Amino acid sequence: MAVYTEVTDEALRAFLADYPLGALRAFRGIAEGVENSNYALKTASGDFILTLYEKRVDPRELPWFLALMEHLAARGIDCPLPVKATDGVALRTLAGRPAAICTFLPGVWPRRVRPEHCAPLGGALARLHLAGADFEEVRPNGLGPRAWAPLLDRCRAGGDAVQPGLIAELDAALAGILAAWPAEGALPTGQIHADLFPDNVFFLDGPEGSPRVSGLIDFYFACTDLLAYDLAVCLNAWCFETDGSYNVTKAHALLAAYQRLRPMATAERAALPALCRGAAIRFLLTRLYDWMMTPPGAMVTRKDPLEYLRRLRFFAGAEGPSSLGL
Amino acid sequence: MAVYTEVTDEALRAFLADYPLGALRAFRGIAEGVENSNYALKTASGDFILTLYEKRVDPRELPWFLALMEHLAARGIDCPLPVKATDGVALRTLAGRPAAICTFLPGVWPRRVRPEHCAPLGGALARLHLAGADFEEVRPNGLGPRAWAPLLDRCRAGGDAVQPGLIAELDAALAGILAAWPAEGALPTGQIHADLFPDNVFFLDGPEGSPRVSGLIDFYFACTDLLAYDLAVCLNAWCFETDGSYNVTKAHALLAAYQRLRPMATAERAALPALCRGAAIRFLLTRLYDWMMTPPGAMVTRKDPLEYLRRLRFFAGAEGPSSLGL
């Protein structure tokens, strides 16, 4: 759920006075996005999104995220463009929190992923990677392989209460993933989104009625990491059906469309199964941690960590890249 | 909190195909409104609100609410206007729920009420009452005086756990309120909003910078009842400070602006203190019931019932209409 921080009208007016956006027309909390407070903002200049960054986001990292979005938008990626105030600064303060206004992106995120979504997604991801190639400032992946063992340790005490034997299974799986992980420099790296779930991708119908990507949002997990890891995240997030089965048609559409714009190196293709297991354990561990740490009365949707245990098991049993749709 | 019902893109597209609103442009859940699921909907024709009516709303009552909004909008009240599909019907079904699209209203609801909000509010309420005068179909107030004793009975078992002695205090207060309640036909009745809290009133800056009402929303408690009871609800909802004190300046501004358009009868003025106690106990009882019945893990903000106990005590101790701002 969203909107943790309430903004008084006086504070909002004072904040908007620093922008060349004209008179305030509307301001509504958006029920989407888990990490930050998002408001739909309408002014005489049009529609915008106002984001107040909540505690999970490190304020020192915000300039990197905003600079990346500005870089990508300037290269034609349909991502939120931070709007600068009249003094040229996009990152500001509102209601005691870091805050920024970004452009509004049209489109609807798919509540139910269809195979037709996956090719446009693959193309958009490849374009994102290509557009990020000349963004040089590095942000390490705070939730990459080095973070997983410490995260698993923090789940050790209560994890088996979520499912008996869970921690032993994850210990073994993690050891295997880390052993199979590509060596530093072995695979192409760059700026990745690292959280490109369906609710972060907007679609509109194209001229022939088929969906096309109209927007990529929520870059607050973006980082500098293996490009193919972004594909592994997407295969996890887009290609499983509600019954837990892997939809190889979706995966193939995603990977083929991606490779039309950025063909994967042989080493990337070989590493993909391990990267998929890595992405599965990353989301499994953060969900497990949140599950264990979220007080029952909290106003946050707890996401089932065990969904990703099933995905991890699938990828562990997958026989080579072709069974993943490559 | 809002958005209980998720709508798949296929279902949304099929639903919109029945409307003359042009291509879908955006669809975002709104984090406001407690009773129903609300979505901000953007099409080639502009901005709209799509509401899915959740379990608390009786589907048989929806035609009355939609007809009232249509009636009021036709008389110049800035309230949501239900949009009819091409077959002329506004109330439809989406994702298994009754659903309707209404026009989008500009403005911002006041997170912190200032005295300058209260005169425009009073004027808007009077215009609402005048515009509803020729809407003849009656909807009894399901949360009016007859509902309070049964509601208190349902809180009896666990109420004192919320505050010791609470039930005895409410028994005595309710007996006094019902004894003082105006006899049938003694006061002017009509169509009232019955829930005109700050988050249901949008404001924009007028030409001189002072706030003017740009929209009244959420008519799903509207009913046919004493017009002055709507004033009593507003005095409860708009005129107390966070420290619990009654702001007579706000109350006077509200009442005076109301009376410029619809002067209150002598009997209404005399009844106002009892009506204010009634409104206080109505919100106290529904909040108390929700507080006791809401499981700790539910995704709903529980509102503190004791806030209204303090308001009830204030009105019980108030010495006549003048101390209320009349």
pLDDT digits (tens, 9 = 90+) for B275-286: 999 999 999 999
CB within 8 Å: B30 and A29:
yes
Last residue of a domain, one of B103, B125, B150: B103
State mean pLDDT over A254-264. 98
Residues B127 and B257 in one domain: yes
Pairing of strands A92-94, A97-103: antiparallel
Does any domain span residue A300? Answer: yes
Which chain A residues contact residue B26 at CB under 8 A? 104, 106-108, 202
Q: Is residue B108 part of a domain?
A: no
The mean per-residue pLDDT over the stretch B127-150 comes to 97
Could you tell me which chain A residue has the CA closest to the CA of B207? A23
Residues B213 and B311 in one domain: yes
Residues in chain B: 326
Rounded to 10 deg, the angle between the A145-162 and A166-180 helix axes is 160
In a domain, A110, yes or no: no
* B30 and B63 part of one domain: yes
* Residue B110 in domain: no
Q: Which residue has the tokens 């991502």?
A: A79
**Residue A215, domain member (yes or no):** yes
Whether pLDDT at B256 is above 70: yes
**pLDDT band at A302, cuts 50/70/90?**
low
pLDDT of residue B1: 41
Separation of alpha carbons A127 and A69, rounded Å: 13
Residue A300's pLDDT band, with cuts at 50, 70 and 90, is low
Q: Residues A130, A84: one domain?
A: no
Average pLDDT, chain A: 94
**Nearest beta carbon to residue A9 from set B8, B104, B111:** B111
> What integer pLDDT is reported at residue A208 of this predicted model?
85
Asked if the Cβ–Cβ distance from A112 to B31 is below 8 Å, we say no
| Range with the poorest average pLDDT among A53-57, A164-168, B107-111, B243-247 | A53-57
Residue A28 to residue B27, Cβ atoms within 8 A: no
The ipTM of this complex is 0.86
| More reliable by pLDDT, A153 or A299 | A153
**pLDDT for position A298:** 54
Question: How many C-beta neighbours within 10 Å does residue A243 have?
Answer: 5
Mean pLDDT of A237-246: 96
Does residue B321 carry a pLDDT above 90? no
Are residue B164 and residue B242 in the same domain, yes or no?
A: yes
Q: Could B9 and A107 be called an inter-chain contact, meaning their C-beta atoms sit closer than 8 Å?
A: no
For residues B4-15, give the mean pLDDT.
89
How do B97-103 and B201-205 pair as beta strands?
unpaired
Q: What is the CATH number of the domain that holds A230?
A: 3.90.1200.10
Closest CA relative to residue A160, chosen from A306, A325, A11, A315: A306
A238 and A113 Cβ atoms separated by less than 8 Å? yes
pLDDT at position B88 is 96
Structural domain range at position B171: 115-324
Q: What is the pLDDT of residues B17-62, one digit of tens each?
A: 999 999 999 999 998 766 789 999 999 999 999 999 988 889 999 9
Residues B172 and B202 grouped into a single domain? yes
Asked whether residue A142 falls in the same domain as residue A172, the answer is yes
B48, B79, B103 — which closes off a domain? B103
Residue B299 pLDDT > 60? no
Measure the CA–CA gap between A160 and A168, rounded to whole angstroms. Answer: 9
Most confident segment among B158-162, B256-260, B303-307: B256-260
Instruction: Tell whether the model's pLDDT for residue A2 goes beyond 60.
Output: no
> Which residue would you say has higher pLDDT here, B293 or A68?
A68
Residue A145 and residue A276 in one domain? yes
For residue B32, give the nearest of A1, A10, A29 by CB distance. Answer: A29
Closest-CA distance, B270 to chain A, in angstroms, reads 35
Ramachandran angles phi, psi of A192, nearest 5°: -120, 155
DSSP helix/strand/coil, B48: strand
**pLDDT the model gives residue A1:** 41
Residue B219's closest CA among B230, B211, B210, B208? Answer: B230
Range with lowest mean pLDDT among A1-5, A59-63, B313-317: A1-5
pLDDT, residue B207, reads: 83
pLDDT of residue B131: 98
Same domain, A174 and A221: yes
Same domain, A90 and A151: no
Query: Å from B166 to nearest chain A CA?
Result: 24
Least CB–CB distance from B9: residue in A9, A108, A296: A108
* pLDDT at site B300: 54
Q: Element (H or E) spanning A160, and its range?
A: helix A145-162
Residue B98: which CATH number? Answer: 3.30.200.20
Name the domain boundary from A103, A137, A164. A103
pLDDT of residue B5 exceeding 90: no
Q: B310 versus A290: which is more confidently predicted?
A: B310
Banded pLDDT at A154 (limits 50, 70, 90): very high
Residues B161 and B99 both lie in one domain: no
Helix or strand or coil: residue A78? coil
Q: Tell whether B1 is covered by a domain.
A: no
Residue A192 resides in a domain: yes
Mean pLDDT of chain B: 94
pLDDT in tens, A89-144: 999 999 999 999 999 999 999 999 999 999 999 999 999 999 999 999 999 999 99
pLDDT higher than 60, residue A299: no
Give pLDDT, residue B302. 67
Q: With b meaning 16 or more CB within 10 Å and e meaning fewer, what string describes B284-311?
A: bbbbbbbbbeeeeeeeeeeeebebbbeb
* The predicted structure's pLDDT at residue A207: 83
pLDDT, tens digit (0-9, with 9 covering 90-100), for A135-147: 999 999 999 999 9
Extended strands (E) in chain A: 24-29, 37-43, 46-52, 92-94, 97-103, 189-192, 201-205, 211-216, 223-226
- Per the structure, the count of domains in chain B is 2
- Please indicate, yes or no, if residue A1 is contained in any of the structural domains: no
Distance between first and last Cα of chain A: 36
Which of B27, B111, B200, B203 is the best residue to mutate to test the A interface, defined by the most A CB atoms within 10 Å of its own CB?
Answer: B111
Among chain B, residues having any CB pair with chain A shorter than 8 Å are: 1-3, 6-10, 12, 23-32, 40, 42, 47, 104, 106-108, 110-112, 202-205, 296-297, 299, 301
